[in-house]
Amino acid sequence: MKKSAHPDPFEKARLEKGYGEMNDQDDPVTMILGLKDVRKCAHNWKSFQSGATPGRIVVPSEVNIRDTRQIPFEVDPPAHKGYRDLLEPWFKRPLEAVYQEKLKAQISDIVEEVLTKDTVEVVGDFALRLQSRALTLLLNIPYQEAETWIGWGTHVFRSEDTALDGDKANILYDYIDTQIDKAIENPGDDLYSKLLASEINGKQLTKEEVKGVMILTFAGGRDTVINAVTNAIAYFAEHPESLKQLKDTPEITGKAVEELIRYFAPLTHMGRVVTEDTQVCEHAVKADSRISLCWASANRDAKVFENPNKIVLDRKINPHVSFGFSTHNCLGATHARQIMNILLSTLAEKVTSIDIVDYKENIENLGEFKRKVGYDSITVKFNA
Ligand code: EMZ
């Protein structure tokens, strides 16, 4: 098995029963594994709600470390639509040429920089820095602010030995409170100011609502992007022919981004709370219990994807669910896709090979399943 491989731990359960089970802080989760079932449940927001107690749809549950509702992902229709309509144009800014040029300059700089180094620890010294700097564009705030976020490490709610670190979460909450107050005093062109000046159905957004959007923006696109970037580096290290393929046929870059994201599924699953006694995969689930939509498993469903465990860079039909599905599909997807797109073309342009020196996998414990989601650390050498 290659070091960069991400095996599918869900195959057997997916084929045999369509679901899996895991405990999580005494609030068990029935994991939905097949693509069709995942989509069906994701679409059915009435039976499987997102607007439960804040933090409960996340696995591991964050109910003990936060009270602020993340917006829009912990809000159900119809209220969800007002928020989504407000946010959508802002989160589509990565499609603009000026945005892409700035992102390209950032990514070029960091790739140039790692090429001068002997070895580089990709998670902390490449992916986290790249992600944080790119986030300054999404928030439309000065570049230097990234240094503060880099200091927080890869996950804002987790630390090295604690899956849920309340003290660490408070650093983010306090920071956002301060930034909101600054934006109230001194409004600018940043996302905080934009939200504070916005209305939904004639009502101005409250500070708590703005905070809810900002927490999601910081937390949701952090370890996910870091994993996608790091996993891509590991993959190209072991597949120089793929780097060459991108160099020779740059027109496949968009497809390659989708395929890598399908295969890596940087967010394993997302939960929902069941609102009425019902069934999933012919299995009874009770009102107020939890299910999860397992994007990682759905993306390997052989009923939909030919050779699901193989990375086919120019895969033609690729209805993966790495960015979720239906009402709550990922708001940050446009930004994430641009990051990956520019990263791939920059690597193809500037890097000929990458050597893995040392690595430690990040394995998630999901009851009966163990899943590799990325790396705790991976040291490589980039060669020009
Ligand atoms: C939540 C979640 C959103 C959660 C799309 O995912 O990402 C997780 O990393 C956070 O811990 O709070 O934002």
CATH of the domain at 278: 1.10.630.10
- Asked whether 157 lines ligand 1 (CB < 6 A), one says yes
280 found inside a domain: yes
Instruction: Map tokens 């939890």 to a residue.
Output: 290
Distance in Å, CA 219 to ligand 1 centroid: 5
Nearest-CA residue for ligand 1 atom 1 is: 220
- Asked whether 323 lines ligand 1 (CB < 6 A), one says no
Query: For residue 258, what are the domain limits?
Result: 11-60+77-154+222-383
pLDDT at 161 over 80: no
- Tokens of residue 16, six digits: 């045999």
Question: How many domains, in total, are found in the chain?
Answer: 1
82 found inside a domain: yes
- Asked whether 57 lines ligand 1 (CB < 6 A), one says no
Which of 32-46, 78-92, 148-162 shows the lowest mean pLDDT across its residues? 148-162
Mutate to test the pocket of ligand 1, among 58, 64, 330 (most ligand atoms within 8 A of CB): 58
pLDDT at 205 over 80: yes
pTM exceeds 0.95 for this model: yes
* Structure confidence at residue 155 (pLDDT): 80
202 found inside a domain: no
Pairing of strands 369-383, 353-366: antiparallel
| The one-letter amino acid at 31 | M
pLDDT at 86 over 80: yes
* Structure confidence at residue 164 (pLDDT): 83
Nearest-CA residue for ligand 1 atom 12 is: 219
What is the CB neighbour count within 10 angstroms for residue 89? 8
85 found inside a domain: yes
| Mean pLDDT value of segment 214-226 | 95
The pLDDT confidence band at residue 154, using thresholds 50, 70 and 90, is confident
Q: Residue 13 and residue 211: Cα distance in Å, rounded?
A: 39
Question: Residues 148, 151, 98, 257: what is their CA dihedral angle, to the nearest 10 degrees?
Answer: -160
What is the CB neighbour count within 10 angstroms for residue 188? 13
| The one-letter amino acid at 218 | F
167 found inside a domain: no
The closest-lying atom of ligand 1 relative to the alpha carbon of residue 158 is 11
| Mean pLDDT value of segment 297-317 | 98
Question: For residue 74, is it left (φ>0), alpha (ψ between -120 and 50) or beta?
Answer: alpha
| Mean pLDDT value of segment 282-288 | 97
The closest-lying atom of ligand 1 relative to the alpha carbon of residue 216 is 13
- Asked whether 336 lines ligand 1 (CB < 6 A), one says no
The pLDDT confidence band at residue 162, using thresholds 50, 70 and 90, is confident
What is the CB neighbour count within 10 angstroms for residue 48? 27
Q: What is the pLDDT of residues 122-133, one digit of tens each?
A: 999 999 999 999
